[in-house]
Amino acid sequence: MTETAYETASAFVDQRQGDWSQWNAHIWNLAETAWREYRSAEWYVARLKAEGFSVETGSGGMPTAFSGTWSNGKGPAVMAYAEYDAVPGNCQIADTYRSPRKGLSRFAGGHTDPHSALGMGALVGALAAKAAMQKHGIQGTIRFMGEPAEKVRGSKPIHAARGYYDGLDAIISFHPFYMLPYCNTCRWDTHCGPYYAAIYEFLCEAPETWLRDAAKGPIPAAHTSARAPGANDAVVAMYTLSKMMRDHMLPHTGTWTLNETILASGQATADNLAAQMAQILFAARTPDRAMLENIFAVLDRNAESAALAAHCSWRRHWVSKSRPGLANHAMAEITYRNLERAGPPRFGADAVTVAQAIQRELGLSPMARPFIDEIEQLITPQEAERKIRATIPAWQTHYTSDDYTDMTWHAPTVRFYIGRATLKAPQGFAYPDWVMNALGGIPATIDPTVATAARTIAGTMLDLLTDKEMLRRTRTEYEERLACDGETKPWCDYAPPLDFPWPDYVETPRGREWWIPATADDRALHRPA
């Protein structure tokens, strides 16, 4: 019996498992954070070149982004992509107990979702489709993009504004499961919503003018003089004002979130000098753009008030302006059929052993079936849609946050999710965060997710490359939805926000470490081998 293209792709996933499992572990262990994913991006570029792709590095003016292309002749162009940014403060060893990776602070980066598996599932799927295209003479082009800084919805609005998604026939967006009912399914109507993020910077550049008349001696900022409040005080004032604003606005505006992070200050030592520079980042997720505009109008006023009170000037620097998602039922149907063909991930005896060891570590009785049922079950896009709509207001068109949404305005796009190892919890018990982080780095508990995603992506690519009618339906729906919305221009009107104090790994005489050095407490968490 002649092997089909899908069977060739599926066999590729199995045959290369030893390779891609190691690749995934490597990216997981690098755990580089937003805008600083140097080694991760370098690895992907080298791997793509080794697999025959031509690669543009630093795409869109972003050093840790890339755009890879492989072509097998004239035909449709389909795209998948990698993310590889981790999250500060989530450093975890790939084991069954809580500990940072060796030699690092527990405040270092760690993969939570995990983006390591997201990128690897997409890469293996693209390579499997490529192998099938070569063997079966299927014409077309595979684009593979590197997308840094997803945690601040960073690269995709920039790539979109600079034309990197133009001319594509289809885009496939995969993410490991992170919330029910989005597990082994595709988004249907309710896609992720818009997002704004900005850094507010306060500068105290003329502290000597704070109380001009009080300076009696030859040194205007003498140690006995009243000190200008300075930039740190401005950040604290804005933080407090914005918390108050959120308390008043949140009950009246539906489901949205506003989060803040105080970035590293420009002054780390103690003296009675006014802090010259301080920054705070605000990020908002909402169902529509009008809410974002209202939120940031208030934040601007808060920044102005805080600056006046603390004798500072202020500036707003955009980090992200990301559009809401555009649905495409035809793409969801094609992808879900391939998910059915691949089947949900199966977590075998080795995965169960890992799960039971974690339960023992936490003082729980090990369960014979330690994983939640949903990670090994399929749910149709329509049923997932019904369940999610039951939890949000009827008027709300978008829900939760992710920047794949910018791609949906440039080509027919699907968003799908694959189950990942998630432990059942006894009544009243909540697992600590390190558990999910560890499960994302242990091959027995993450490889099934990568394999299922890869098969689904490869099958979807091959269908789109070989079925002209299928591709036509996705394009027709895309154009109809685009025409109905009216606003198609990218929102990004700013340069890549690279030159800010994003957390990073550093090279020191002690070796490579997180910018917050490891302490005795961190080292004490490690166990003898």
Predicted confidence pLDDT, tens digits, the chain (529 residues):
688 999 999 999 999 999 999 999 999 999 999 999 999 999 999 999 999 999 999 999 999 999 999 999 999 999 999 999 999 999 999 999 999 999 999 999 999 999 999 999 999 999 999 999 999 999 999 999 999 999 999 999 999 999 999 999 999 999 999 999 999 999 999 999 999 999 999 999 888 888 765 455 555 545 556 678 888 889 989 989 888 877 766 655 556 788 888 887 666 566 677 888 999 999 999 888 998 999 999 999 999 999 999 999 999 999 999 999 999 999 999 999 999 999 999 999 999 999 999 999 999 999 999 999 999 999 999 999 999 999 898 989 999 989 999 999 999 999 999 999 999 999 999 999 999 999 999 999 999 999 999 999 999 999 999 999 999 999 999 999 999 877 678 999 999 999 999 999 999 888 899 988 888 888 888 887 6
Domains located in the chain, CATH noted: 5-194+324-351+364-424+439-485 (3.40.630.10), 195-321 (3.30.70.360)
Three-state SS annotation for 159-184: HHHCCCCCCCCEEEEEEECCECCECC
Do the Cβ atoms of 399 and 181 come closer than 8 Å? no
Look up the pTM and report it: 0.94
Closest CA to 233 of 283, 273, 284, 196: 273
Strands lying side by side in the sheet with 66-71? 54-57, 66-71, 141-146, 77-82, 170-176, 413-418, 185-186
Three-state SS annotation for 45-95: HHHHHHCCCEEEECHHHCCCCEEEEEECCCCCEEEEEECCCEECCCCCCCC
